[in-house]
Protein backbone atom coordinates (compact mmCIF):
# COMPACT_ATOMS: atom_id res chain seq x y z
CA UNK A 1 0.00 0.00 0.00
CA UNK A 2 1.03 3.60 -0.56
CA UNK A 3 2.21 5.69 2.37
CA UNK A 4 0.18 8.75 3.37
CA UNK A 5 1.46 11.31 5.89
CA UNK A 6 -1.05 13.80 7.33
CA UNK A 7 0.01 16.67 9.56
CA UNK A 8 -2.35 18.62 11.82
CA UNK A 9 -1.22 21.95 13.25
CA UNK A 10 -2.12 23.31 16.65
CA UNK A 11 -4.68 25.78 15.33
CA UNK A 12 -6.46 23.03 13.38
CA UNK A 13 -7.25 20.82 16.36
CA UNK A 14 -7.55 23.25 19.29
CA UNK A 15 -9.92 25.90 20.53
CA UNK A 16 -8.71 29.53 20.69
CA UNK A 17 -7.76 29.00 24.35
CA UNK A 18 -5.55 26.04 23.42
CA UNK A 19 -7.85 23.30 24.66
CA UNK A 20 -8.33 20.36 22.30
CA UNK A 21 -11.29 20.51 19.93
CA UNK A 22 -12.65 17.00 20.40
CA UNK A 23 -15.24 17.33 17.65
CA UNK A 24 -12.44 17.94 15.14
CA UNK A 25 -10.39 15.01 16.41
CA UNK A 26 -13.47 12.77 16.23
CA UNK A 27 -13.93 13.79 12.60
CA UNK A 28 -10.25 13.12 11.87
CA UNK A 29 -10.64 9.61 13.29
CA UNK A 30 -13.71 8.96 11.12
CA UNK A 31 -11.98 10.00 7.90
CA UNK A 32 -8.67 8.30 8.66
CA UNK A 33 -10.56 5.09 9.48
CA UNK A 34 -11.89 5.16 5.93
CA UNK A 35 -8.46 5.79 4.41
CA UNK A 36 -6.56 3.11 6.32
CA UNK A 37 -7.94 0.44 3.99
CA UNK A 38 -5.96 1.97 1.13
CA UNK A 39 -2.91 3.53 2.80
CA UNK A 40 -0.23 3.02 5.40
CA UNK A 41 -0.84 6.18 7.42
CA UNK A 42 1.32 8.32 9.68
CA UNK A 43 -0.35 11.18 11.53
CA UNK A 44 1.84 14.04 12.67
CA UNK A 45 0.02 16.08 15.27
CA UNK A 46 0.87 19.30 17.02
CA UNK A 47 -1.22 20.50 19.95
CA UNK A 48 0.61 19.08 22.97
CA UNK A 49 1.89 22.43 24.23
CA UNK A 50 -1.48 24.07 23.67
CA UNK A 51 -3.27 21.25 25.45
CA UNK A 52 -0.96 21.28 28.47
CA UNK A 53 -0.20 24.95 29.05
CA UNK A 54 -3.36 25.51 31.10
CA UNK A 55 -1.91 23.25 33.79
CA UNK A 56 1.33 25.23 34.08
CA UNK A 57 0.90 27.96 36.68
CA UNK A 58 1.76 31.43 35.44
CA UNK A 59 2.42 30.16 31.91
CA UNK A 60 4.35 32.75 29.90
CA UNK A 61 5.73 30.61 27.09
CA UNK A 62 9.27 30.30 28.44
CA UNK A 63 11.23 27.32 27.16
CA UNK A 64 11.07 25.32 30.40
CA UNK A 65 7.34 26.03 30.63
CA UNK A 66 6.79 24.93 27.03
CA UNK A 67 8.61 21.69 27.71
CA UNK A 68 6.55 21.09 30.84
CA UNK A 69 3.36 21.90 28.94
CA UNK A 70 4.37 19.42 26.24
CA UNK A 71 5.04 16.72 28.84
CA UNK A 72 1.52 17.14 30.22
CA UNK A 73 -0.12 17.85 26.89
CA UNK A 74 1.25 14.81 25.04
CA UNK A 75 -0.69 12.55 27.39
CA UNK A 76 -3.86 14.61 27.04
CA UNK A 77 -3.52 14.72 23.25
CA UNK A 78 -2.97 10.99 22.80
CA UNK A 79 -5.79 10.12 25.19
CA UNK A 80 -8.23 12.12 23.07
CA UNK A 81 -6.99 10.56 19.83
CA UNK A 82 -7.20 7.10 21.40
CA UNK A 83 -10.76 7.66 22.58
CA UNK A 84 -12.06 8.49 19.12
CA UNK A 85 -9.96 6.02 17.13
CA UNK A 86 -11.14 3.24 19.47
CA UNK A 87 -14.66 3.81 18.10
CA UNK A 88 -13.30 2.26 14.87
CA UNK A 89 -11.24 -0.42 16.65
CA UNK A 90 -8.04 1.27 15.53
CA UNK A 91 -5.14 1.21 18.01
CA UNK A 92 -2.74 4.14 17.93
CA UNK A 93 0.88 4.53 19.00
CA UNK A 94 2.83 7.54 20.13
CA UNK A 95 5.99 8.17 18.12
CA UNK A 96 8.13 10.90 19.67
CA UNK A 97 10.94 11.94 17.33
CA UNK A 98 14.01 14.14 17.56
CA UNK A 99 15.82 15.66 14.64
CA UNK A 100 18.93 13.54 15.07
CA UNK A 101 16.81 10.45 14.39
CA UNK A 102 16.74 11.58 10.76
CA UNK A 103 20.41 12.58 10.61
CA UNK A 104 21.80 9.21 11.68
CA UNK A 105 21.20 6.48 9.11
CA UNK A 106 20.98 3.64 11.63
CA UNK A 107 18.59 5.49 13.92
CA UNK A 108 16.41 6.35 10.95
CA UNK A 109 16.28 2.71 9.86
CA UNK A 110 15.27 1.71 13.39
CA UNK A 111 12.49 4.30 13.31
CA UNK A 112 11.34 3.05 9.92
CA UNK A 113 11.32 -0.59 11.02
CA UNK A 114 9.29 0.30 14.11
CA UNK A 115 6.68 2.19 12.09
CA UNK A 116 6.46 -0.66 9.58
CA UNK A 117 5.85 -3.10 12.44
CA UNK A 118 3.04 -0.86 13.71
CA UNK A 119 1.45 -0.85 10.24
CA UNK A 120 1.76 -4.63 10.05
CA UNK A 121 -0.32 -4.86 13.22
CA UNK A 122 -2.98 -2.40 12.12
CA UNK A 123 -1.70 0.38 14.39
CA UNK A 124 -1.55 4.01 13.30
CA UNK A 125 1.48 5.94 14.60
CA UNK A 126 0.90 9.51 15.76
CA UNK A 127 4.20 11.37 15.60
CA UNK A 128 5.30 14.54 17.33
CA UNK A 129 8.61 16.13 18.14
CA UNK A 130 9.98 15.06 21.50
CA UNK A 131 9.68 18.56 22.91
CA UNK A 132 10.44 17.49 26.47
CA UNK A 133 14.09 16.60 25.85
CA UNK A 134 14.83 18.59 22.69
CA UNK A 135 17.97 20.64 23.15
CA UNK A 136 16.72 23.31 20.75
CA UNK A 137 14.16 26.00 21.47
CA UNK A 138 10.84 24.76 20.18
CA UNK A 139 10.36 27.75 17.89
CA UNK A 140 13.24 26.54 15.69
CA UNK A 141 11.44 23.31 14.82
CA UNK A 142 7.89 22.76 13.62
CA UNK A 143 5.91 19.71 12.65
CA UNK A 144 5.78 20.69 8.96
CA UNK A 145 9.42 19.66 8.91
CA UNK A 146 8.81 16.44 10.86
CA UNK A 147 5.96 15.46 8.53
CA UNK A 148 8.16 16.12 5.49
CA UNK A 149 11.03 14.07 6.90
CA UNK A 150 8.58 11.22 7.52
CA UNK A 151 7.13 11.49 4.00
CA UNK A 152 10.52 11.65 2.28
CA UNK A 153 12.10 8.97 4.43
CA UNK A 154 9.20 6.52 4.10
CA UNK A 155 8.70 7.18 0.39
CA UNK A 156 5.15 8.51 0.81
CA UNK A 157 3.02 9.06 -2.26
CA UNK A 158 1.22 12.01 -0.65
CA UNK A 159 1.95 14.49 2.13
CA UNK A 160 -1.02 16.44 3.51
CA UNK A 161 -0.48 19.58 5.60
CA UNK A 162 -3.54 20.89 7.41
CA UNK A 163 -3.92 24.63 7.93
CA UNK A 164 -6.57 26.87 9.41
CA UNK A 165 -6.82 28.90 6.17
CA UNK A 166 -7.67 25.85 4.05
CA UNK A 167 -4.99 26.16 1.38
CA UNK A 168 -2.67 28.59 -0.36
CA UNK A 169 -4.51 31.89 -0.86
CA UNK A 170 -4.04 34.20 -3.83
CA UNK A 171 -4.08 37.99 -3.54
CA UNK A 172 -7.89 37.98 -3.56
CA UNK A 173 -8.10 35.49 -0.69
CA UNK A 174 -9.19 32.67 -2.99
CA UNK A 175 -7.64 29.23 -2.57
CA UNK A 176 -5.30 28.30 -5.41
CA UNK A 177 -6.41 24.83 -6.47
CA UNK A 178 -3.20 23.55 -8.06
CA UNK A 179 0.48 24.54 -8.20
CA UNK A 180 2.80 22.98 -10.79
CA UNK A 181 6.06 24.15 -9.21
CA UNK A 182 6.99 25.95 -5.99
CA UNK A 183 9.10 28.92 -7.09
CA UNK A 184 9.66 32.53 -6.12
CA UNK A 185 6.35 33.61 -7.63
CA UNK A 186 4.54 31.24 -5.27
CA UNK A 187 6.48 32.37 -2.21
CA UNK A 188 5.73 35.95 -3.22
CA UNK A 189 2.02 35.63 -2.49
CA UNK A 190 2.43 34.26 1.03
CA UNK A 191 1.05 36.37 3.85
CA UNK A 192 1.91 36.02 7.53
CA UNK A 193 -1.10 34.12 8.82
CA UNK A 194 0.71 32.13 11.53
CA UNK A 195 -1.59 31.53 14.48
CA UNK A 196 -0.91 32.59 18.04
CA UNK A 197 -0.79 28.93 19.14
CA UNK A 198 1.14 27.36 16.28
CA UNK A 199 4.75 27.67 15.19
CA UNK A 200 4.53 27.05 11.46
CA UNK A 201 2.99 29.35 8.87
CA UNK A 202 2.37 29.13 5.13
CA UNK A 203 5.98 29.99 4.30
CA UNK A 204 7.06 26.94 6.31
CA UNK A 205 4.57 24.75 4.48
CA UNK A 206 5.73 26.00 1.09
CA UNK A 207 9.38 25.39 1.98
CA UNK A 208 8.69 21.76 2.80
CA UNK A 209 6.22 21.35 -0.06
CA UNK A 210 9.05 22.36 -2.38
CA UNK A 211 11.33 19.72 -0.91
CA UNK A 212 8.71 16.97 -0.93
CA UNK A 213 7.59 17.60 -4.51
CA UNK A 214 11.22 17.49 -5.65
CA UNK A 215 11.38 14.05 -4.10
CA UNK A 216 8.39 12.97 -6.20
CA UNK A 217 5.76 13.37 -3.47
CA UNK A 218 2.39 15.00 -4.08
CA UNK A 219 1.64 17.64 -1.44
CA UNK A 220 -1.77 18.94 -0.42
CA UNK A 221 -2.36 21.91 1.86
CA UNK A 222 -5.92 21.70 3.13
CA UNK A 223 -8.34 22.63 5.90
CA UNK A 224 -10.87 20.85 8.10
CA UNK A 225 -13.63 23.45 8.12
CA UNK A 226 -15.52 21.90 5.22
CA UNK A 227 -17.19 18.46 5.46
CA UNK A 228 -14.87 15.53 4.71
CA UNK A 229 -11.92 17.91 4.53
CA UNK A 230 -9.28 15.17 4.43
CA UNK A 231 -11.08 12.90 1.98
CA UNK A 232 -11.98 15.68 -0.44
CA UNK A 233 -8.52 17.27 -0.32
CA UNK A 234 -6.94 13.90 -1.07
CA UNK A 235 -9.15 13.72 -4.17
CA UNK A 236 -8.07 17.24 -5.17
CA UNK A 237 -11.52 18.73 -4.63
CA UNK A 238 -10.50 21.20 -1.93
CA UNK A 239 -7.29 22.81 -0.73
CA UNK A 240 -4.15 23.32 -2.82
CA UNK A 241 -2.43 20.41 -4.54
CA UNK A 242 1.26 20.68 -5.43
CA UNK A 243 2.30 18.54 -8.36
CA UNK A 244 5.14 16.08 -7.70
CA UNK A 245 8.24 16.52 -9.84
CA UNK A 246 9.68 13.64 -11.83
CA UNK A 247 11.95 11.82 -9.40
CA UNK A 248 13.14 8.24 -8.91
CA UNK A 249 15.61 8.49 -6.00
CA UNK A 250 16.61 5.43 -4.01
CA UNK A 251 15.62 5.07 -0.36
CA UNK A 252 19.06 6.28 0.72
CA UNK A 253 18.85 9.30 -1.56
CA UNK A 254 15.38 10.13 -0.27
CA UNK A 255 16.77 10.13 3.24
CA UNK A 256 19.70 12.33 2.23
CA UNK A 257 17.39 14.53 0.16
CA UNK A 258 15.31 15.38 3.17
CA UNK A 259 18.10 17.78 4.11
CA UNK A 260 17.72 16.34 7.57
CA UNK A 261 19.68 18.28 10.14
CA UNK A 262 22.25 19.72 7.75
CA UNK A 263 25.36 20.55 9.75
CA UNK A 264 26.86 23.14 7.41
CA UNK A 265 26.76 24.88 4.05
CA UNK A 266 29.20 24.63 1.16
CA UNK A 267 29.07 27.46 -1.39
CA UNK A 268 30.42 26.25 -4.72
CA UNK A 269 31.32 27.90 -8.03
CA UNK A 270 29.50 27.56 -11.34
CA UNK A 271 31.87 24.84 -12.53
CA UNK A 272 31.06 22.72 -9.49
CA UNK A 273 27.33 23.24 -10.02
CA UNK A 274 27.70 22.08 -13.63
CA UNK A 275 29.73 19.05 -12.53
CA UNK A 276 27.07 18.10 -9.98
CA UNK A 277 24.48 18.33 -12.74
CA UNK A 278 26.48 15.75 -14.66
CA UNK A 279 26.33 13.48 -11.57
CA UNK A 280 30.00 13.96 -10.71
CA UNK A 281 31.45 14.09 -7.22
CA UNK A 282 32.10 17.40 -5.48
CA UNK A 283 35.78 18.33 -5.38
CA UNK A 284 37.42 20.80 -3.00
CA UNK A 285 38.63 23.00 -5.85
CA UNK A 286 35.03 24.00 -6.59
CA UNK A 287 34.16 24.96 -3.02
CA UNK A 288 34.34 28.71 -2.40
CA UNK A 289 33.33 28.99 1.26
CA UNK A 290 32.51 26.69 4.17
CA UNK A 291 29.87 27.72 6.69
CA UNK A 292 29.37 25.94 9.99
CA UNK A 293 31.29 23.14 11.63
CA UNK A 294 30.66 19.54 10.63
CA UNK A 295 32.30 16.16 10.96
CA UNK A 296 33.04 13.68 8.20
CA UNK A 297 29.85 11.78 7.46
CA UNK A 298 27.44 14.56 8.36
CA UNK A 299 24.91 15.98 5.89
CA UNK A 300 25.69 19.39 4.39
CA UNK A 301 23.83 21.75 2.10
CA UNK A 302 25.43 22.74 -1.22
CA UNK A 303 24.60 26.21 -2.53
CA UNK A 304 25.65 28.12 -5.62
CA UNK A 305 27.36 31.49 -5.33
CA UNK A 306 23.97 33.24 -5.25
CA UNK A 307 22.97 31.22 -2.20
CA UNK A 308 20.46 28.95 -3.97
CA UNK A 309 20.48 25.39 -2.62
CA UNK A 310 21.32 22.94 -5.40
CA UNK A 311 21.94 19.72 -3.46
CA UNK A 312 22.50 18.03 -0.12
CA UNK A 313 25.33 15.60 0.47
CA UNK A 314 27.13 13.49 3.02
CA UNK A 315 30.55 15.06 3.51
CA UNK A 316 33.64 12.86 3.27
CA UNK A 317 35.76 15.47 5.04
CA UNK A 318 35.17 17.45 8.19
CA UNK A 319 35.00 21.23 7.91
CA UNK A 320 38.34 21.45 9.73
CA UNK A 321 40.02 19.13 7.21
CA UNK A 322 38.35 20.77 4.21
CA UNK A 323 39.26 24.39 4.88
CA UNK A 324 43.05 24.01 4.29
CA UNK A 325 42.39 22.12 1.02
CA UNK A 326 39.88 24.39 -0.75
CA UNK A 327 42.19 25.16 -3.68
CA UNK A 328 43.49 21.64 -4.19
CA UNK A 329 42.64 19.38 -7.12
CA UNK A 330 41.45 15.78 -6.73
CA UNK A 331 40.29 16.19 -3.11
CA UNK A 332 36.84 14.64 -2.92
CA UNK A 333 34.47 16.48 -0.58
CA UNK A 334 31.39 14.36 -1.36
CA UNK A 335 31.02 11.29 -3.52
CA UNK A 336 28.45 11.33 -6.31
CA UNK A 337 26.59 8.44 -4.63
CA UNK A 338 26.10 10.57 -1.53
CA UNK A 339 24.79 13.67 -3.33
CA UNK A 340 21.12 14.38 -4.00
CA UNK A 341 20.35 17.18 -6.41
CA UNK A 342 17.47 19.45 -5.49
**Is 131 assigned to a binding site?**
yes
Contact (Cβ atoms closer than 8 angstroms) between residue 131 and residue 293: no
**Is 17 assigned to a binding site?**
no
Q: Which ranges of 54-179 does DSSP label H, i.e. alpha helix?
A: 63-85, 100-103, 105-120, 143-153
Contact (Cβ atoms closer than 8 angstroms) between residue 262 and residue 246: no
CA distance 305 to 132: 39
Kindly write down the DSSP assignment for every residue of 198-236, as one continuous string: -S--HHHHHHHHHHHHHTT-EEEEE-SSSTTHHHHHHTT
**Max Cα-Cα span within the chain:** 65
CA distance 45 to 205: 15
2 pairs with which residues across the strands? Answer: 39
Per-position b or e across 291-308, b if 16+ CB within 10 A of its CB: eeebeeebbbbbbbeeee
**Residue 180, CB-side half-sphere exposure with 13 Å CA sphere:** 1
**Is 185 assigned to a binding site?**
no
CA distance 277 to 212: 20
**Is 67 assigned to a binding site?**
no
Give binding residues as ranges: 7, 46, 131, 143
Give binding residues for ATP as ranges: 7
Give binding residues for substrate as ranges: 46, 131, 143
Amino acid sequence: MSVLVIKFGTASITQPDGSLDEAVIADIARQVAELRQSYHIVLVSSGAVGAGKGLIEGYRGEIAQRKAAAAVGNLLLLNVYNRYFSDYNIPIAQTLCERHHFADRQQFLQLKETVQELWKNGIIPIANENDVVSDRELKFSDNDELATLMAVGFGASTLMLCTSVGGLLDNDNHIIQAVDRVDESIFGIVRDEKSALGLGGMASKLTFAKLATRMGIRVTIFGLKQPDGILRALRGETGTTFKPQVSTPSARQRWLGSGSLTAGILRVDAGAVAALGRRNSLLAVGVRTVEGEFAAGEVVEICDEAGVTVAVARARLSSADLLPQLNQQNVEVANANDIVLL
